[in-house]
Structure 1
Amino acid sequence: MSIFYDNTSVPLHEFTARVKTVAWKGRINRTSPMYFKEFESTLRKGITFCLPCDSLPRPVNVLETEHHLKLINKQREYFTEFATGMKSQMHLSKSAELEYDFFKTRTYDFLVYLGKFQEIRATCPCKEIQYTNLFMEFSKIFALKPEVGEIRERRIRIGSQTVVCIPDVRFLRYPQIADHSLLVMHTEVNLIKPSDDQEETFDIHKLTTQTLGLHGGELLAERKFSIFKPGVLGIICLRTKLIFTFMEMTEDHYNCIERGRSCDEHHAKIIYTKPYDYLNEEEREEMYSLLFWLGYLQQCT
């Protein structure tokens, strides 16, 4: 169908700039409210933990679990105290103060869930659904509202066939009467080698063709509903690592696919970032700005 993943990854700031350029064509706000900068600063200073990359599908021993739980509990107590103190130094409107309280609660809830996640890992290897749930809790920090993908089926007609695509997680824009999609996510437990994603550039073709095919199909099925149309935004979640993806496709190309015609004259490219681990402090902080912007887009009219 002439849809290709790019040869190498692009830096997150270049990726975000491209998404915002396409979004602007659809008259979408390219900046989030200034008070989100205050929230971002609170996260940078109040959440400083790092947990080791979950590189093996195995239970974690008792000593590791106890160490991780103590670290998370200490972080939760510190964040609560720090975030409360930060609020008194901010000059927020009443509505922004309410948003800040929600933000603080959501961050606290994520840390609680992260502790439960560590307890699960101590008894058995974690499954895809558990990593999916963990990411859903993490995304809520940024005012994102996830829903399980199977709630809504997306169907695309390819010639005489109808294909159904169901992502693991979908983010729809609210409040909207139209069923507009902001972001779709595919979770995969199988990880690339840790050394493969440490370089400045990353080749997504290291993942299985099944993973790439499934995610590409999900992006294609969501294109009609995407608020970034002619682009569509996605995430491949490799346990706790996130690869952001963005596909752009012309209307003529999309129509050729629907009608089952040859797409040889067309070319749709999926750009992507290297994996970012949200349990790693440095990598987590790089994602804050993009995630807060997406949270703003999802809730704004």
Structure 2
Amino acid sequence: MDDSSNSSDSSISSNSILSPCSSTSASELMRKRGRSSSSDDSYTFGVKCGRFAEDHVSEWDICKLESFGIFYDEKATELSELYESALKDLYLVLGIKDHATLWSKLLEIKEFLVESTKSCMHSLDVDEEFSEIDSMSRFVVVKETEKCLQAIAKIKEEMATKGSALSMDYLSWHIYGIWHTGILEYIEYYSDLVKELRSHGRCGMVGEFSQLLMFFSKIFLLNAMRGNALPKMQMMLDGVATTSVPDLRYRLQGECHSGFKSNSSLLTVTVGEVKRWSLSHEVKTTADFNIRNLKFTGQSVESLLGQHGGEVLVEWKKSALQDTNLGIICVKNTIIFTCLKLDREHLSNLAHGHSVENERSVIRYSKPYNFLVRKDREEIMNTMFHLGLLCRLGSLHWLLD
């Protein structure tokens, strides 16, 4: 990847979001969007007559994304700050005030599950410099998973015999059961994947890492679904039907506050088709981490960021939030949380083919987290469990005593 793509000669706003395409001419941006200029009569005629095929965001690169006025921030945001505003909005959408007793109980259960997850997954930890699951030893993994299963059995026995607060009501056992199933499925898939890769001496494929993240997220009660399990999402952008099929969606369960959208989703996940990559501990922990500086082979950073940006834009139509869509970029066993907040006027201009030259919507993001590394995993546990409980809130009313 050409490092020169990570620089820019000018600032485009008071928020200073830098773009490798910021010096690109307006006509070039129009060409990337499928037309040569805003007054191209042949383009307008083609759209009206339906002669243009639909656009799919999997073909986007970062320049195309930016031609629609959507930019990645200059540097990472702390995870707690990244989702802070969105979580407050979700409380309103899901009617947390109406279910204060239930939510208080769920937060109590969350503390128990956080500590239980730490205990169970301790044996699965890898070194902080570790980057690729492909290189793990199958023999070590067998021993690690055995220890993990023993820890789970011990927690289950303690809940049943010691009369802990969580063993006294049906709601707690219901949530515990979801967690227990999730962690067992994750351990089984994780162990089988490592043994499969090592036995055949090959790299993991994008579908395998989608599955790994799906099983990992089930530990945190998240309701994961493959993107192709539902009809593809579609949004009119500049007169062109633009479609999206993300790798995974995390969806809400049950009926919540009357203001939330039916079949709403909470997170949109894009998994990179990466063959090899490395990310040093120093790079990923710096406060100045810039997502454009990722380096790997098999897929360009520009195409991955363009695709994910397109997906969180198009999938916004199904977001549980009114003007925000949350997302995750997954590169093998590393995840980056993202958040796109859209201005309604910006979205309207895109849909109607109006100029967006002065529009700026920003995709904020976290630093990368390797969920096989204990420190990284423990940093994201609270957020993951919080999102998982919100996903299930609407289906849990009847379980509260």
Query: Could you tell me which amino acid in structure 1 is paired with residue 181 of structure 2?
Result: T
Query: Is the Cα contact below 8 Å between 1:51 and 1:68 reproduced in 2?
Result: no
Match of 1:204 among 259, 284, 291: 291
Query: Is the Cα contact below 8 Å between 1:146 and 1:170 reproduced in 2?
Result: yes
The alpha-carbon distance between structure 1 residues 59 and 45, as it changes in their structure 2 partners (threshold 3 A), is: closer
Query: Is the Cα contact below 8 Å between 1:236 and 1:243 reproduced in 2?
Result: yes
Alignment RMSD: 2.2
How far 1:266 moved relative to its partner?
2.1
Match of 2:116 among 42, 45, 52: 42
After superposition, residues 18-167 of structure 1 pair within 5 angstroms as 18-24=85-91, 26=93, 29=96, 32-48=106-122, 49-52=124-127, 55=131, 64-86=137-159, 88-92=162-166, 93-122=169-198, 123=200, 124-152=202-230, 153-167=232-246
Normalising to structure 1: TM-score of the pair? 0.91
Query: Could you tell me which amino acid in structure 2 is paired with residue 17 of structure 1?
Result: E
Query: Is the Cα contact below 8 Å between 1:47 and 1:79 reproduced in 2?
Result: no
Q: Which moved more, 1:95-104 or 1:254-263?
A: 95-104
How far 1:201 moved relative to its partner?
3.5
Query: Could you tell me which amino acid in structure 2 is paired with residue 90 of structure 1?
Result: S
- Percent identical among aligned pairs is 22
Query: Is the Cα contact below 8 Å between 1:174 and 1:299 reproduced in 2?
Result: yes
How far 1:83 moved relative to its partner?
4.1
Partner SS, residue 194 of structure 1: coil
Consecutive aligned runs of 4 or more in structure 1 exceeding 3 Å deviation:
21-33, 52-60, 86-89
Normalising to structure 2: TM-score of the pair? 0.69
After superposition, residues 243-258 of structure 1 pair within 5 angstroms as 243-258=336-351
Query: Is the Cα contact below 8 Å between 1:44 and 1:285 reproduced in 2?
Result: yes
* Rg larger in structure: 2
Partner SS, residue 321 of structure 2: coil
Q: Distance in 2 between matches of 1:108 and 1:27?
A: 29
Give the match for residue 310 of structure 2: 217
Q: Distance in 1 between matches of 2:311 and 2:328?
A: 10
How far 1:198 moved relative to its partner?
3.7
Query: Is the Cα contact below 8 Å between 1:202 and 1:274 reproduced in 2?
Result: yes
Query: Is the Cα contact below 8 Å between 1:29 and 1:297 reproduced in 2?
Result: no
The reply on whether 1:168 has 2:253 as its aligned counterpart is no
Q: Distance in 2 between matches of 1:290 and 1:259?
A: 37
Q: Distance in 1 between matches of 2:139 and 2:117?
A: 24
Gaps of 5+ in 2: 1-67, 98-102, 256-260, 295-300, 395-401
Question: Could you say which structure has the greater relative contact order, defined with CA pairs below 8 angstroms and 6 or more residues apart?
Answer: 1
Q: Distance in 1 between matches of 2:390 and 2:134?
A: 38
The alpha-carbon distance between structure 1 residues 56 and 214, as it changes in their structure 2 partners (threshold 3 A), is: same
The alpha-carbon distance between structure 1 residues 120 and 198, as it changes in their structure 2 partners (threshold 3 A), is: farther
Query: Is the Cα contact below 8 Å between 1:54 and 1:239 reproduced in 2?
Result: no
